[in-house]
């Protein structure tokens, strides 16, 4: 026994994949679709919800249902880490010109709006273990939001953790009003004589929580990519842990792995 809402969804999905309906096209109203398929409105809504969850359509209250346009804007390249390291010892003027974010997006500093908040917290179990410190050790938690000047939602949620004691020798690093810091975290660590040796990034993906969907202005039918970046210095200490939440429909991550020559 074929399920009515799946049949309707299959039919519309096919029309989108085949190109009969193009990105940006408006679908008939739910009432019209109900009549066309000889079903009730809730059944049609059921079908449309399925397609919405798959990311194929956008429903807009009061306006209609539209075929979604695919999009990917920012590319985040792991070459950024070497790039940032090279900049860490450059003169301030050079560092202030362009940051990693502009390096990623190809935009200029003026196109972006930056926000940072610092807070001190006591290390919970998990972070204490990663940093190799006792539970309760003071950490500096730094929260960042960056968005396009033209848009209202940030394009990533970033939280970074540092061990307070490790960086306290430079009081400027505890002061959120010094952000955005020219040259980024690697330059900040450089002022303390810390050299970053390697960066580990762990990735997973899942549907957004309601809070994430709201903060990143994500439509239904999108995923978030969770990135956990751990920086090690040349003495193999963990010097920074950063958690990043990225919108799956607007982000591409690029990792290049160079191999040793034979």
Helices 30-37 and 41-53, interaxial angle, to 10°?
A: 110
Here's the x/- map for its own copies, 162-201, by CB under 8 A: it reads as ---------------------------------xxxxxxx
Identify what 81 binds: its own copies, DNA, none; CB under 5 to 8 Å per kind. its own copies
Enumerate residues 6+ apart whose C-beta is below 8 A from 9.
47, 48, 50, 51
Helices 30-37 and 4-17, interaxial angle, to 10°?
A: 110
Cis peptide, bond prior to residue 180, ω within 30 of zero: yes
Identify what 41 binds: DNA, its own copies, none; CB under 5 to 8 Å per kind. DNA
DSSP annotation of 174:
G
Q: What's the CA gap between 113 and 118, in Å, rounded?
A: 17
- Under rule CB under 8 A, which residues in 85-104 are in contact with its own copies? 85, 89
- Under rule CB under 7 A, which residues in 10-29 are in contact with DNA? 27, 29
Should residue 152 be labelled a site residue for its own copies when binding is judged by CB under 8 A? no
Should residue 231 be labelled a site residue for DNA when binding is judged by CB under 7 A? no
Residue placing its CB nearer to its own copies in the complex, 151 or 252: 252
Residue placing its CB nearer to its own copies in the complex, 177 or 258: 258
Bridging pattern class, strands 138-148 and 57-60: unpaired
Here's the x/- map for its own copies, 26-55, by CB under 8 A: it reads as ---------------------------xxx
Should residue 210 be labelled a site residue for its own copies when binding is judged by CB under 8 A? yes
- Long-range Cβ contacts of 124-129 (<8 Å, 24+ apart): 127/161, 127/241
Q: What's the CA gap between 147 and 120, in Å, rounded?
A: 25
Positions in the binding site for its own copies (CB under 8 A):
13, 53-55, 72, 78, 81-82, 85, 89, 195-210, 220-225, 234, 248-249, 251-262
């Amino acid at each position: 026994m074929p399920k009515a809402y799946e049949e309707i969804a299959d039919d519309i999905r096919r029309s989108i994949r085949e190109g009969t309906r193009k990105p940006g096209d408006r679908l008939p109203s739910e009432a019209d679709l109900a009549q066309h398929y000889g079903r009730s409105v809730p059944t049609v809504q059921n079908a449309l919800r399925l397609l919405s969850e798959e990311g194929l359509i956008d429903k807009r209250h009061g306006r209609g249902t539209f075929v979604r346009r695919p999009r990917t804007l920012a590319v985040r390249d792991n070459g950024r880490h070497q790039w940032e390291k090279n900049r860490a010892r450059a003169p301030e003027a050079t560092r202030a010109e362009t940051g990693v974010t502009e390096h990623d997006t190809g935009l200029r500093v003026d196109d972006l709006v930056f926000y940072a908040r610092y807070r001190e917290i006591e290390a919970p179990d998990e972070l204490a273990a990663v940093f190799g410190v006792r539970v309760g050790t003071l950490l500096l938690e730094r929260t960042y939001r960056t968005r396009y000047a033209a848009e209202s939602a940030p394009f990533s949620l970033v939280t970074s953790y540092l061990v307070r004691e490790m960086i306290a020798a430079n009081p400027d690093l505890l002061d959120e009003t010094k952000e955005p810091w020219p040259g980024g975290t690697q330059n900040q660590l450089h002022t303390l004589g810390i050299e970053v040796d390697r960066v580990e990034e762990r990735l997973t993906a899942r549907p957004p929580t309601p809070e994430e969907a709201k903060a990143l202005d994500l439509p239904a039918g999108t995923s978030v990519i969770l990135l956990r970046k751990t920086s090690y210095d040349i003495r193999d200490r963990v010097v920074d842990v950063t958690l990043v939440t990225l919108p799956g429909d607007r982000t591409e991550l690029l990792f290049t792995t160079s191999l040793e020559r034979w």
